[in-house]
Amino acid sequence: MLRKYTYLVALARERHFSRAAAACHVTQPTLSNAIRQLEESLGVPIVERGQTFRGFTPEGETVLAHARRMLAEQDALTQSLRARGTGLAGTARLGVIPTALPAVAPLLATVAARHPALRFVVRSLSSRDIERGLHAYELDAGITYLDNEPLPAVRRVPLYTETPLFLCRRAADDPEPPGEGIPWAEAARHPLCLLTPDMQNRRIVEAAFRAAGVAVDPAVETASLITLFALVQQGPWASIAPSLLLSTMRPDPAVEARPLVAPSIRYSVGLVYADRDPTPPLVAALAAAAAGMSVPDGLG
């Protein structure tokens, strides 16, 4: 039965019969027949029938939710038993907001040092996608904002406090950074490149501009922090970027970073995982590593 549930979850992930079969290392007829057998045993239609995959019936969505939970519990049991013998093993699936990706390396390095048999899959996702992934058992944990648009029904482990910075090209006759902060209202007068509106960081930035009594219409939008930095390097754009970005980029004397004031804002970023008992050993290992480390925010 668990094998059939595995096929069902793969179909939900791939949204395509052939790709789901390939992911499960079986033929498409094998996967399709297994799902039909599952429908017969449960007495309900699970998949919308057609020449291609169309989705799940309402009953199928209910079955899918139970399948994900049962497979997650089976995996947690396997982890717990293995941890008593050969040590913790398996694959940890993390969803990380793009602005927090630099914090992933020190966290995974800490976990890997304690549990060398673990593997990791890291996906760059929005905070809303992380929420969906956690509650659908598609992610083991996430790294996202803790105090801005906090996720419901999760446990939290703070990692670092983030501060937004104003980035711009340094004037040729001003080789040294001025040091003082720049008001948000003044930053709004520059041609800006910002992260895309679907990202929570962008919503934080827009809220700060509104608090300063201004609105912005960016000249460039991107989902990539590296692209933001490159655009500032090439000009004529300025940007609002998280301070953690500077800790991972090679220093560039042509780029000036200034704190933003009026208002001054900081926000907490950390590890989140579903509020379920018992906590799977793999997730507990991630949480323990996060609790024991402190990631610099890029200002020091």
pLDDT of residue 146: 94
Question: Taken in order 90, 127, 195, 251, is the CA torsion positive or negative?
Answer: negative
- What DSSP designation does 225 have? H
- Chain center to CA of 84: 30
User: 3-state SS of the chain: helix, strand, coil percent to 5?
Assistant: 45, 20, 35
Q: Where exactly does CATH 1.10.10.10 map onto the chain?
A: 1-87
Neighbours of 257 (CB within 10 A): 19
The architecture in CATH of the region 164-265 reads 3-Layer(aba) Sandwich (3.40)
pLDDT of residue 1: 77
- Longest CA–CA span in the chain (Å) reads 77
Q: Where exactly does CATH 3.40.190.10 map onto the chain?
A: 88-161+268-300
37 contacts 99 by C-beta, under 8 angstroms: no
pLDDT of residue 298: 46
Does this model's pTM top 0.85? My answer is no
Structural class in CATH, domain 1-87: mainly alpha
CATH superfamily for domain 88-161+268-300: Periplasmic binding protein-like II (3.40.190.10)
pLDDT of residue 195: 93
Laid out side by side, the sheet with 141-145 consists of 118-124, 90-96, 141-145, 267-274, 154-162
CA distances from 220 to 68, 121, 197, 244, 259 (A): 40, 30, 12, 21, 21
Which residues touch 38 (CB under 8 Å, ≥6 apart)?
A: 1, 4, 5, 8, 46, 63
Run means of pLDDT, 10 residues per run, the chain, 300 residues: 87 90 92 91 88 87 87 77 72 93 92 92 94 91 92 94 92 62 96 94 95 96 92 93 84 89 93 91 93 64
